[in-house]
Amino acid sequence: MKLSVSAMRRRDLRRIMAIEDAVFPEPWSAAIFHSELALRAGRAYRVAREGRTVVGYFGLMFVGDEAHVTTVAVAVDHQHRGVGTELFLDAVRVALEHGARDISLEVAAGNERAQALYRRFGFAPVGVRKGYYQRTGEDALVMWAYDVDSPAYGERLAAIESQVRSRP
């Protein structure tokens, strides 16, 4: 599978909304994506494509030297194929380009696969937001990766990238 990651565009939203609806019990609306894309400063939204088809995406919000993952999703039929890893490699690079030292996110407490991916990237739980997901009542883990601008973290990223590139 050959993936490319590039800036999210409004024309990508039809496919993004299909992914959003399939993977989240509380999907964002198209209006939320439109408003986020309109905020050029302090935001970065990118999509992963296989050929011309959007198969995943992420969003980042920047405040000072911190980045926050606002959303990340992979199409159901592309999960467990390395798309999430590719997206996160790109997300960290984008965060670093924006001067981030630390990155945070929330993840459903029961989403162990996503948590495993985030741990691979050095994220660790620091707290719980009780009942964060209104529709399901599920808690969210708050996870942070600190010092992503350090040489040690750079080595972590290089190791992950090396593993990705060595796959057949």
Q: Which pLDDT band, with edges at 50, 70 and 90, does 166 fall under?
A: confident
The pLDDT score that the predictor gives to residue 40 is 79
pLDDT score recorded for residue 102: 98
What gap in Å lies between CA 25 and CA 136, rounded to an integer?
7
pLDDT value at position 1? 61
The dihedral through the CA atoms of 97, 120, 5, 8 has a sign that is negative
The confidence score (pLDDT) of residue 167 equals: 78
Task: Please state, rounded to an integer, the average pLDDT across all residues of the chain.
Answer: 95
What structural domains and CATH numbers belong to the chain? 3-165 (3.40.630.30)
Q: Known catalytic residues?
A: 106, 118
Q: Note the pTM of the prediction, 2 decimals.
A: 0.94
At 2, the pLDDT band (50, 70, 90 cuts) reads: confident
Residues 108-148 have pLDDT tens digits of 999 999 999 999 999 999 999 999 998 899 999 999 999 99
Q: How much is the average pLDDT of 8-31? A: 95
Average pLDDT over residues 89-96: 97
Which 3 state secondary structure label does DSSP give 111?
Answer: coil
Q: Which pLDDT score, from 0 to 100, does residue 165 have?
A: 86
Q: Are 77 and 112 in contact (CB under 8 A)?
A: no
Residue 61 main-chain phi, psi, to 5 deg: -120, 140
Instruction: Using alpha carbons, select from 165, 149, 7, 157 the residue that is nearest to residue 88.
Output: 157
